[in-house]
Chain A
Amino acid sequence: MKSYKTKRAIGNAIGYIILILISIIWLFPFVGLVLQSFRSYATEYGGMVDYLVPKHFSLDNYKFLFDSSQTNYLLWYKNTIIIAVFVSLFQTIIQLCVSYALSRMRFAGRTFLMRFWLILGMFPGFLTMICLYFLLKQFGLTQAGAIPGLILVSVASCGMGYYVCKGYFDTIPKALDEAAMIDGATRSRIFFTMIIPMSKPIIIYTALVAFMAPWCDYVFASYVAFGHDTSYNVAVGMTRWVWTNDYQGYFTRFCAGGVLVAIPVTLLFMFLQKYYVEGVTGGAVKG
């Protein structure tokens, strides 16, 4: 019995060592990012360096970001929040609608629709970028109108991502619906007063995922908003600091900007982690 205990203690010790190592590896880039963001711009060079800990700590980079006479960073940030909020809102509504229809109702063309969307999803999205750009342009939703344009495109196609949500609805027993219908409730009533209140986890999951996506959208956003600084999102605005030679010594500013971008998303994520786990787990099982 004693040997079993020591064995277990050793096992746990190894486990802790591995976990600590993993934590270091996983946290290292973020620690680096935060440290670099505090590297003084005035006394040290703002570009890349090959040391981790700054020689002088300062808030120069953050001051730069908040100075609207020098950069539109705050505007980009605002744009991204606007996009994220609206996309999150509309996408959740649409996915709920689609999922309910596909999960609860049986109508002609239902399986065709699901198969068709499945096949559509296999086409690479970038292919359609140029086409979407000119479609949006017809509505005046590029460059100056890029923000509503980006919201529109994200929302328009989101119906195809119904899987997770439908999977959740499938687990709600149909007997509930039937009982309600015998009581004379209409389909819409069931949807609004019964299914939706029961779906809090999945609603939060859908909204959270939709909220996080626009923060990373570089590719399409840069395509739609090109040449119009005021309608960039953070990803488009900031990757220029790293990728183009026009911005010398902006690396520390990029890090500072990155930290600010990471804060709201991370906080939100931490608070709602439970629902996220529920969503991905459910989604994984349902495929």
Chain B
Amino acid sequence: MAKGADKNKKSAASLFFEALGKGFKEIGVTFVEGDIKTKLSYIIFGLGPILRGQILIGIALLLCEVLFFYFMAGFGWQYLSKFSTLGTIATKKVGRKTVYGDNSFLILLFGVLCIFAIIAFVAIWYINVRENRKEELLLKAGKKLPSNKDVFLSLFDKNFHKTLLALPVTGIFVFTVLPIVFMILVAFTNYDKNHQSPSNLFTWVGLENFKNLVSFSGAGIGGTFVQVLLWTLVWALFATFTNYFLGLAVAMLINKKGIKFKKLWRTILVLTIAVPQFVSLLYVMKMFANDGLINGYLIKWGIIKNYIPFWTDPMLARITIIVVNIWIGIPYMMLIATGLLMNIPEDLYESARIDGANPWQMFRSITLPYMLFVTGPFLLTQFTGNLNNFNVIYLLTQGKPQSVNLAEKAGYSDLLITWLYKMTVNDTNYRMAAVIGIMVFVVTAVISLVVYNMLPSVKDEEGFQ
């Protein structure tokens, strides 16, 4: 985790502008002081390095420029040029055949890609200028430029990180950053089931969707949003802490002196981690159904007269979900706690025992503080993970029961994330899903930030890297 990420926030903006100013100055100075090779490099990337014998760097830069123009001319421009309207040519019929017009979806998607390409282009241009400057200064100082072989070999030594990170960073960029930016932009369009590409166009609508989110009257979904958000928070809180403490308790029980077959007990519990959730949770869902195994046997044995509506009663559904989640979560926590408990020095307990402390006191004054201290960040990630815990909710209830009191098909056990999923997949209501998604991000980010600063272990382990 990026420790102290927020601490530098304040200075980040001013730092950024400082750097920007310095950058511009450098560009100017380089141009004024540079020779003809450098000046030409402002238009033809990498020309300077090539002429100075730095073939490898020069070619790489030139290749980037060529690729950029090839990309923009052959592919990007047709999308980017329509970016402001997201397309105007409607789909029409010629005879019986369909002639598709502009595809707003692709215009938006590749428009974003083009904008990124332009930013990257500018960045490479700047790198190109700096490279020229660096070379010139080196030559002026009478030093030799590194040979091509050295440059290449540095990719495995001094610049090894570039080699290591090239692929992961591009991968994350294309398959994570680009889609996220795209979906954020969708929140400002009217992309929904009535405006579906390729047959229909969609366009920018400004903040309309956000207004809908905070509108509490009529068709607005404000009330439902608050309801779902509250349950999401309550769920995350319960899911995290019930698992944490019960898992800890089970771990301590198994670790207890005198308990035999420790490995067996652990293995039994761990089975829930190993069996894929779509199998175990779907089975558990059926087990608790109104006409399922549990109700069936309880009625057969005469313990209850009417079935218990585990999934169909709003309150009971929520409780059942939390209980089932304990079933899933305890083993995981148990494993972690087992490892950590062994790290607590035995003599601490020994001296406490001599002082006459009972087990409960020992737990409160030794075990718990230690565990909380060590697992603080873990608890936080668990909490944010639970905010977005899709599998448990969706496989068990799919967010049901729904209600006439909730808008947009939300159910009483829906988390923001499952609600969002249903909007996307069942309703193709992408615009509201995007808005909800942004809200999920805001909630997660705010909670992380606030809690993170409160964690004792963060302050004490600042130097930890």
A residues contacting B by CB (< 8 A) are 8, 11-12, 15-16, 18-19, 22-23, 25-27, 29-30, 32-33, 48, 50-52, 94, 97-98, 100-101, 103, 105, 107, 110-111, 113-115, 117-120, 122-124, 126-132, 134-135, 152-153, 155-160, 163, 170, 186-189, 191, 212, 215-216, 218-219, 223, 235, 238-239, 242, 251, 254-255, 258, 261-262, 265-266, 268-270, 273, 276-278, 280-281, 283-287
Contacts and interface: CB of A to CB of B under 8 A. Distances in A.
Given A19-B259, A135-B174, A27 B275 contact: no
Chain B CB within 10 A, most for which of A16, A189, A216: A216
Interface string B377-404: 1101100100010110010000000000
Given A115-B5, A126-B421, A132-B175, A265 B274 contact: yes
21 contacts: A15-B253, A15-B258, A30-B275, A111-B2, A118-B2, A120-B172, A127-B180, A131-B182, A153-B175, A157-B176, A215-B276, A219-B390, A219-B394, A219-B421, A262-B279, A265-B274, A278-B339, A280-B332, A280-B336, A284-B336, A285-B375
B227 interface: no
B384 A186 contact: no
Nearest to B171: A156
A259 to B, nearest CB: 8
B164 interface: yes
Contacts of B300: 50
Does more than half of chain B's interface fall in helix, strand or loop, or is it mixed? helix
A131 B109 contact: yes
Q: Please name the 6 residue pairs, one residue from A and one from B, whose CB atoms are nearest each other, closest first.
A: A287-B377, A50-B296, A159-B168, A281-B339, A128-B179, A156-B171
Nearest to A16: B259
A86 to B, nearest CB: 14
Interface of B: 1-2, 5, 105-106, 109, 153, 156-158, 160-161, 163-165, 167-169, 171-172, 174-180, 182-183, 250, 253-254, 256, 258-259, 265, 267-280, 282-284, 286-287, 289, 291-293, 295-297, 300, 327, 331-332, 335-336, 338-340, 374-378, 380-381, 384, 388, 390-391, 394, 416-417, 420-421, 424-425, 430, 433-434, 437, 440-441, 444-445, 448, 464-465
A92 B327 CA distance: 29
B424 A27 contact: no
A268 B297 CA distance: 35
Contact of A285 (B169, B374, B437): B374
A200 to B, nearest CB: 17
A251 B279 CA distance: 12
B157 A273 contact: no
A97 B5 contact: no
Contact of B282 (A30, A105, A254, A281): A254
Contacts of A284: 336, 340, 374-375, 378
Given A124-B437, A223-B425, A281-B335, A261 B276 contact: yes
A29 B287 contact: yes
Given A16-B259, A122-B444, A281-B335, A157 B175 contact: yes
Given A251-B286, A261-B276, A107 B161 contact: yes
A32 B335 contact: no
B193 to A, nearest CB: 13
Nearest to A110: B161
Contact of A124 (B265, B338, B388): B388
Nearest to B421: A126
Given A22-B269, A98-B164, A122-B444, A262 B2 contact: no
B258 A8 contact: yes
B378 A19 contact: no
A45 to B, nearest CB: 14
Contacts of B164: 97-98, 100-101, 191
A156 B2 contact: no
Contacts of B174: 135, 156
A273 B292 CA distance: 33
Given A127-B183, A215-B276, 7 more contacts: A19-B265, A22-B250, A30-B271, A134-B105, A152-B175, A170-B465, A285-B375
A130 B273 contact: no
Chain A CB within 10 A, most for which of B156, B164, B289, B336: B164
Chain A CB within 10 A, most for which of B293, B388, B390, B394: B293
A233 B329 CA distance: 25
B291 A186 contact: no
B160 A265 contact: no
Contacts of A254: 282
A29 B280 CA distance: 7
Contacts of A29: 280, 283-284, 287
Contact of B106 (A26, A103, A134): A134
B277 A216 contact: yes
Given A126-B420, A135-B175, A278-B339, A258 B279 contact: yes
A215 B273 CA distance: 12
Contacts of B279: 33, 238, 258, 261-262
Nearest to A94: B168
A216 B465 contact: no
